[in-house]
Structure 1
Amino acid sequence: MCGQFGLAEAFNWSKFTKRLGLNDIDAPGLRFKDAFAPTNTISIITQQDGYQVRDAIWWLLLEETKTGFKANAKYATFNSKSSRLTSSPVTKKAFKQTRCIIPATHFVEGDGPKGKRYYHLLKPDRGMIAFGGIYRAWTHSKTGEHCFSASIITLPGHPKLKGIHKNSLPLMLPINQPEIAHDWLSPLIQDTQRFESRLQPVLYESLWALPIERPGSPTPIGDTFSIEAD
């Protein structure tokens, strides 16, 4: 994953949560932005003391400063590879106990070291992406400050996107299967083998791809084309 996604202000929160089977979640502080970048504060959905929307730093591994927290620059943890979820000490516990959903309307991908092209990817309904992620809770040893951090899980590349990003695909949970969202968020389900089928690179819904100038500059440089669902 290239490291950029967005949540447009036109996003229909009520429709999104209803399709996921997560009704009646208040989200007065839902964060909207056309281009979230790693270390930005994003919104995540968790199930600790009921379903909640929380602010989280988009970078799983943090370190303390004198007054708060910052991203640990030693490791790039805004994404977490599915192949290492159960073997890495950074992700193993989070994958078992603290999974989350990250709402989005679009994301950006690019591939190739030279002549690199970037693509703005979204669903034909212009919204309703539920990234599967993991999160951690942090408490500052001196100030007592509480905060959350999160990471988007990435899967092996999908053949249909090999010309866009051949190495990886963000985990996008199916929207119209509420039981999947319920199980994914439940802290009571700690047998991670249950999610093996979710960690395969599957396109549950079609995507539109628009070639753009570069991340952060969505100027189109080509025509939109469709990537059909599996």
Structure 2
Amino acid sequence: MCGAIGRVIDNPFVRGLMDILNIRLDSSTDYNIRPNASIPISIGRDGGPVGVNANWWLFQTRTENGYTYDKRYKSFNTTKAKLFTNRKKDFTHHRCVIPASCFYEWKGNRYKIEPIDDAIAFGGLYKTWKTEDPANPHYSCSVITLPGHSKLKHIHEKSLPLMLLKDEIEPWLDDSFHNPDYWLPTLESKIRFDLRVTPVDKKDPSIQIGDSEIIKAD
């Protein structure tokens, strides 16, 4: 499960990734972004990346005040298995990238997990929802999660969020590319780059409470 992420906007790697994704740098640093938050994502449109804001919860419901998360479905994450069953249409046509500097997992303590000297490009899905203005739909998104990895079982053994490599971003966002089987190697549960794992305060994850460890790439 990926239930919280952090985005440090003055991190040069995050800024560089957001530039690649064509996301405006008008969002602020947030160490504790939780599901149902409005977050910047990048989608593919006419062969290039386009930055939009989306609700981090794939299924939405409409209210008098607009859209909000649909409590019937815990859809801030989408498991790998669903990509080839009931989320196959979204996986084929509505892939997105969600930029971040870190994510968090809990097992006794809270742990911040981040790449060393890099940003995270989460692979995700998105949906569009009709509004009164057809040119400005409401967007929602979900982070894709893979089966857990043995190197992280002491932190979180059930799942691992999909983190794309830089050379995968362009084809991932190519809205003319619709072959889901192409992504099977990408969807293997691998540590794709070195990760730093740091115990942090449960309420304020900007506060480190223990020594970091390095999880080496496979």
TM-score normalized by the length of structure 1: 0.86
Name the structure 2 match of 1:139: 130
1:113-169 residue CA offsets vs partner (Å, 9 max, x unmatched): xxx2220111221x41100001001113x6766210000000000111010111100
In the alignment, which residue of structure 1 is the partner of 2:182?
194
The reply to whether residue 204 of structure 1 matches residue 196 of structure 2 is no
Gaps of 5+ in 2: none
The answer to whether structure 1 residue 5 and structure 2 residue 5 are counterparts is yes
* Structure-1 separation of matches of 2:149 and 2:10: 29
Distance 2:100 2:9 in 1: 10
Q: 1:26 to 1:7 in 2, by over 3 A?
A: closer
Find the aligned partners of 2:82 and 2:16 in 1 and give their Cα distance.
33
Question: Matches of 2:15 and 2:141 in 1, distance apart?
Answer: 23
TM-superposition CA deviations, 1:46-74 (whole Å, max 9, x none): 11143211100000000111231010000
Corresponding position: 1:172 with 2:155 = no
**Distance in 1 between residues matched to 2:76 and 2:204, nearest whole Å:** 17
Contact 1:31–1:43 (Cα < 8 Å) also in 2: no
**Among candidates 144, 161, 168, match of residue 152 of structure 2:** 161
**Secondary structure, in 3 states, of the residue corresponding to 1:199?**
coil
2:215 aligned residue: 227
Q: Which residue of 2 aligns with 1:98?
A: 94
Q: Counterpart of 1:202 in structure 2: which amino acid?
A: K
Question: Contact 2:58/2:75 (CA < 8 Å) preserved in 1?
Answer: yes
8 Å Cα contact 2:23-2:42 kept in structure 1: no
| One of 38, 57, 60 as aligned partner of 1:62 | 60
Aligned partners of 1:156 and 1:167 also within 8 Å: yes
Q: Distance in 2 between matches of 1:36 and 1:28?
A: 17
CA contact (8 A) 2:55 2:140 kept: yes
Number of aligned positions between the proteins: 215
- The one-letter code sitting in structure 1 at the alignment partner of 2:96 is C
Shift of 1:213: 3.0
Query: CA–CA distance in 1 between the matches of 2:93 and 2:153?
Result: 33
CA contact (8 A) 2:96 2:123 kept: yes
Q: Which runs of 5+ in 1 are unaligned?
A: none
Q: Residue in 1 aligned with 2:110?
A: 118
**Whole-Å Cα distance in 2 between the matches of residues 172 and 110 of structure 1?**
19
Structure 1 43/17 Cα, relative in aligned 2: closer, same or farther at 3 Å?
closer
User: How many Å apart are 1:203 and its aligned residue?
Assistant: 1.4
Identity fraction in percent: 32
Q: Distance in 2 between matches of 1:216 and 1:70?
A: 26
Report if aligned partners of 1:31, 1:42 keep a CA contact under 8 Å in 2. no
Normalised TM-score (structure 2): 0.90
Q: What is the Cα-based RMSD across aligned positions, in Å?
A: 2.0
SS in 1 for 2:65: coil
CA distance, structure 2, for counterparts of residue 146 and residue 199 of structure 1:
29
* Contact in 2 for aligned 1:4/1:215 (Cα 8 Å): no
Whether contact under 8 Å (2:103, 2:114) holds in the other structure is yes
